[in-house]
Amino acid sequence: MLENDEFIKVVKNTPLVALDLVIRAGDNKLLMGMRINEPAVGWWFVPGGRIRKDESIEDAFLRITKTELGKSYPIDHARLLGAFTHQYQTNFARMPGISTHYVVLAYELQVDVDLERLPMGQHSEYRWVGENGDPARVHPNTLVYFKQAERDA
């Protein structure tokens, strides 16, 4: 694991690879958490996380679902929605002038979740959120997952 001063150099100079977990309710609402960390602090966003060096996508999926949903799920229980580019003008360390660039593999996962029992490491609260911004602070990088559902229908 890199120290913050080393990791900020990585963020400054290369894209990061991450997984987003698109948990969809029957009415096309998505599970979202209110982000407490940069980038995207203060926005509603789907759960997810970075893939670590030398970690397979399958192992990352198990770790990220455990961390974000409280239970590990194998990747073969999910459907790949596609690869997406997420760019932010901020970074985890809030250092000026350093943007964050993610290449995100988004996976749709059909699981039952209890909002009251979800881990709070990255989010201050969770909700089922609809495309029309109920609440209004749905991050633009998350809105694309609603559009993806329309294309798949």
Higher pLDDT, 150 or 105: 105
48 belongs to an annotated ligand binding site: yes
Mean pLDDT of 104-117: 93
Higher pLDDT, 143 or 95: 95
Q: How far apart are CA 25 and CA 144, in angstroms?
A: 16
Q: What are the pLDDT digits (tens) for 60-75?
A: 999 999 999 999 999 9
Residue 102: predicted pLDDT: 98
- Structure token pair of residue 46: 């789907």
142 close to 135: Cβ distance less than 8 angstroms: no
130 belongs to an annotated ligand binding site: no
Strand order in the sheet with 123-129: 44-45, 30-35, 123-129
CATH topology of domain 4-152: Nucleoside Triphosphate Pyrophosphohydrolase (3.90.79)
Q: How far apart are CA 22 and CA 44, in angstroms?
A: 13
Q: How far apart are CA 134 and CA 29, in angstroms?
A: 10
Asked if residue 147 has pLDDT above 80, the reply is no
DSSP reduced 3-state for 3: coil
110 belongs to an annotated ligand binding site: no
Domain residues of the chain, as ranges? Answer: 4-152
What's the pTM value of the predicted model, to 2 decimals?
0.92
Residue 133: predicted pLDDT: 59
Q: How far apart are CA 27 and CA 16, in angstroms?
A: 32
Q: What are the pLDDT digits (tens) for 8-56?
A: 999 999 999 999 999 988 777 899 999 999 999 999 999 999 999 999 9
Asked if residue 152 has pLDDT above 90, the reply is no
- Structure token pair of residue 47: 């759960």
Residue 58: predicted pLDDT: 98
Phi/psi of residue 139, each to 5°?
A: -65, 140
User: In sequence order, which ranges of 21-139 are alpha helices (DSSP H)?
Assistant: 57-69
DSSP 133: T
Residue 1: predicted pLDDT: 76
